[in-house]
Chains A and B, each alone.
Chain A
Amino acid sequence: MLGPDALHVDLALRGIAKQFGATMVLQDIDLAIAPGEFISLVGPSGCGKSTLLRVIAGLEQPDRGSVSLAGRCIDEMAPSERDVAMVFQSYALYPHLSVAQNIALPLEMRQLRWWQRWPIARTLSGLVSRQAKAIRLQINADVRALAQTLQLDTLLHRKPMQLSGGQRQRVALARAMIRAPRVFLMDEPLSNLDARLRVHLRDELVQLHRRLRVTFVYVTHDQSEAMTMSDRIAVMDEGRILQFGTPKQLYSDPDNLQVARFIGSPTINTLCVEADASGNWQYFDTPLGAIPGRQQQPQPGERLTLAVRPEYLSVAVEPIVACDRQWPMQLHRIEHHGADDYVFLVDARAPGDTALIARLPAASSLERADPGTAVHVGFRWSDVMRFDAAGLRVREP
């Protein structure tokens, strides 16, 4: 895995900004991507991730900022000159061309002159120019070889209409791969596929990345896709990058509450706590005392958000021994996920508002408990992340 400190930057974005009408779609995006890295851009829909990808491809012009690839500024280059290939969510295959023609087209565009590319020239080329014919034969051989590695060799004569979703996706990949580009851009390439195929192709994409060793920029709204495939992830919202880091960093050390909430499934638990008049933290009527490691005394009325991943919450019917703080809650529902159970908890003092989820190994003592059972919920301070009222992480020792 190439970390952020493999500071040989391949693709660099500096100060990218873009406005559609009155809405700022991208606001000062800076991003430095190392060669061969698998980068994901994730975020809710409308966060600007697809637009950013199109800016890299050259399909959208940014209002400000610049893009450079391998140290060269590519702002002025046409999309086709940028040495990037893109895979679209809708696959964007040419509907009336066969699979083979679809895959061959990027090569034809690069290697043949315009008059050699016209369909009539295809039949005449052998008579007119030996060279054109040789190029065509070479292209055909390349297409066939690539089709074989992607298991498309039996489908070469079909039209896109006659293929399944997964097959179309592989053709789109082949069309991108045949040019051997420096950067692959992928715009939600798996989101039109069914769940099982998606997991399968996820694996194929990772294998492909390992084999090609080129830079991938992958856009998705599915955090689990980003988490499982990427070297680093940029979480975006409202046209900004909230945090850029490895999946592990984003999960266990998020910079702000939005990232903490977006990454991880089930969603992270948040507890809103308030300092009382004597400067002690309160969670409803549960006194939490002082937060260990926090030096300054809280102001009365000060608010904090505590966040705990579901797997770090302890839940039990009897009082819990191995935790720092605990309080009573009610069992709402248990979801069985095989190895894990998701335990949904509600607080009788403020129903709805404070639903928590705990993730317990299956066959815990709660397995058979009825809804409504009174339980104890607890955490350790070392597993708790703190965020201030603006949602920024509080990291002081």
Chain B
Amino acid sequence: MMRRSAAPRQAPADWSADDTVTLYGHATSHAQVPSARAHWAGLVRLKRALILLAAHGALLAGAAVMLLPFVWMLVTSVRPANEIFRGSLLPWPEHFHGWGHYHEALAYVPLVRFMLNGVLVCSGILAVQLLVAIPASYALAKLRFGSERILFYLVLAALCVPIQVTALPLYLGLAQVGGLNTYFAMMLPFFLSVFAIFLLRQSLKTFPDDILQAARLDGMSEFEILWRIVVPSARSSIAAFAVFSLVAHWNDLYWPMIVISDTQLAPPPLGMMFFATAETGSDYGALMAGATVLTLPLVLIFLMARRRFIQGLTM
């Protein structure tokens, strides 16, 4: 308090003496007003606050747009059926329906089974993807064997080929060997991820060569160097890729729909589709309850890996 009251008393003398205000190119008339500097500083602070407000406003609006479907899903899952189609955007239901839809969903539909299928397929895909992509990206990033550049261009080219292109031949092949309606059929097209090879190659490229040479001098084989020295340093990128891969394949509907007709093997989205058409028809409350349950694991995984995910992408 003391200091605060003392400052204004000394201030005018100081301020009228110095002419820093004119440095900003402002009219000299300001310089004569004792509180000109305070006025100016206030303007600057106001401007900064407005910019911050605008930036945060834009970000919040973006976040709201992203979150709205989730909110809609959550709200619908606890709404009584007659409220759902009233088109009310009110965030909270007038009559709380409680866990009713969740009970229905769990009773009619093998949600747990779908999730188990999802876990199996996603972890199988991720494991093989990493087993293939880590050595491949190490070779592309660090080994010199004459054709590494050509092979890298091939990887880049392969990034541009969408799954739809290879779907038909893969389907025919699987049908020929009687592989349809298996977990393997759901995983096969994704075992080799050129995206993983690309992402990891970029991150392994930054690993210091001196450390690799030191490891070679210490007697490590290339495989040991890779798994014991390089991989632990690339954890962030691997985690980032893992989140991408898990989200993509947990939510994938296209490929499972082609190769799976057995409800028992359906991963979450396909299961939901079976569920929506066969059992519940228009019971959107239960549908949303099911969707909520199926989205939950992904959100949890992302929240747990969030820091590494961001590290892995911003390196």
Q: Contact at A94–B215, with CB atoms within 8 Å?
A: yes
Given contacts A106-B219, A109-B218, A109-B220, contact A88 B233 (CB under 8 A): no
A105 on interface, CB distance cutoff 8 Å: yes
A4 on interface, CB distance cutoff 8 Å: no
B232 on interface, CB distance cutoff 8 Å: yes
Among A26-34, A79-87, A314-322, the stretch that binds chain B is A79-87
Cα distance, A94 to B214, chains bound together (Å):
9
* CB under 8 Å from chain B, chain A span 51-102: 54, 57, 59, 78-80, 84-86, 88-96
Q: Contact at B217–A59, with CB atoms within 8 Å?
A: yes
Cα distance, A79 to B217, chains bound together (Å):
5
Closest beta carbon of chain A to B115's beta carbon, Å: 30
- Which residue of the partner chain A has the closest CB to B233? A95
Given contacts A88-B210, A90-B210, A114-B224, contact A96 B216 (CB under 8 A): no
Closest beta carbon of chain B to A297's beta carbon, Å: 58
Q: Contact at A57–B217, with CB atoms within 8 Å?
A: yes
Given contacts A94-B229, A96-B232, A114-B224, contact A80 B217 (CB under 8 A): yes
A110 on interface, CB distance cutoff 8 Å: yes
Q: Which residues of B contact A57 (CB under 8 A)?
A: 213, 217
- Which residue of the partner chain A has the closest CB to B210? A92
Q: Contact at A92–B219, with CB atoms within 8 Å?
A: no
Identify whether the interface residues of B are mostly helix, strand, loop, or mixed: helix
Closest beta carbon of chain A to B229's beta carbon, Å: 6
* CB under 8 Å from chain A, chain B span 192-220: 208, 210-211, 213-220
Closest beta carbon of chain A to B221's beta carbon, Å: 8
* CB under 8 Å from chain A, chain B span 204-248: 208, 210-211, 213-220, 224, 228-229, 232-233
Given contacts A95-B233, A114-B224, contact A106 B218 (CB under 8 A): yes
Could you count the A-B residue pairs with CB atoms below 8 Å apart for me: how many are there? 54
Given contacts A80-B216, A109-B219, A114-B224, contact A96 B210 (CB under 8 A): no
Q: Which residues of B contact A85 (CB under 8 A)?
A: 217
Q: Which residues of A contact B216 (CB under 8 A)?
A: 59, 78-80
Q: Which residues of B contact A109 (CB under 8 A)?
A: 218-220
C-beta contact mask, A131-173 vs B, less than 8 Å → 1, else 0?
A: 0000000000000000000000000000000000000000000
Cα distance, A78 to B218, chains bound together (Å):
11
Q: Which of A86, A96, A117 contacts B214 (CB 8 A)?
A: A86
Q: Which of A78, A90, A106, A119 contacts B208 (CB 8 A)?
A: A90
Given contacts A88-B210, A90-B210, contact A96 B233 (CB under 8 A): yes
Closest beta carbon of chain A to B110's beta carbon, Å: 37
Given contacts A90-B208, A92-B208, contact A80 B219 (CB under 8 A): yes
Cα distance, A338 to B228, chains bound together (Å):
53
Q: Contact at A105–B232, with CB atoms within 8 Å?
A: no
Q: Which residues of A contact B215 (CB under 8 A)?
A: 94
Closest beta carbon of chain A to B146's beta carbon, Å: 14
Closest beta carbon of chain B to A96's beta carbon, Å: 4
Q: Contact at B213–A59, with CB atoms within 8 Å?
A: yes
Cα distance, A110 to B218, chains bound together (Å):
8
Closest beta carbon of chain B to A385's beta carbon, Å: 40
Q: Which residues of A contact B219 (CB under 8 A)?
A: 80, 106, 109-110
Cα distance, A95 to B236, chains bound together (Å):
14
- Which residue of the partner chain B has the closest CB to A187? B210
Q: Which residues of B contact A96 (CB under 8 A)?
A: 232-233
Given contacts A57-B213, A80-B220, 12 further A-B contacts (CB under 8 A): A57-B217, A59-B217, A78-B216, A79-B217, A80-B219, A93-B211, A93-B214, A94-B214, A95-B211, A96-B233, A109-B220, A110-B219
Residues of A whose CB lies within 8 Å of any CB of B are: 54, 57, 59, 78-80, 84-86, 88-96, 105-106, 109-110, 114, 117, 119, 175
Chain A to chain B contacts (Cβ below 8 Å), 18 pairs = A59-B213, A78-B216, A79-B213, A79-B217, A80-B219, A80-B220, A85-B217, A86-B214, A86-B217, A88-B210, A90-B208, A90-B210, A91-B210, A92-B211, A92-B214, A93-B214, A95-B233, A109-B220
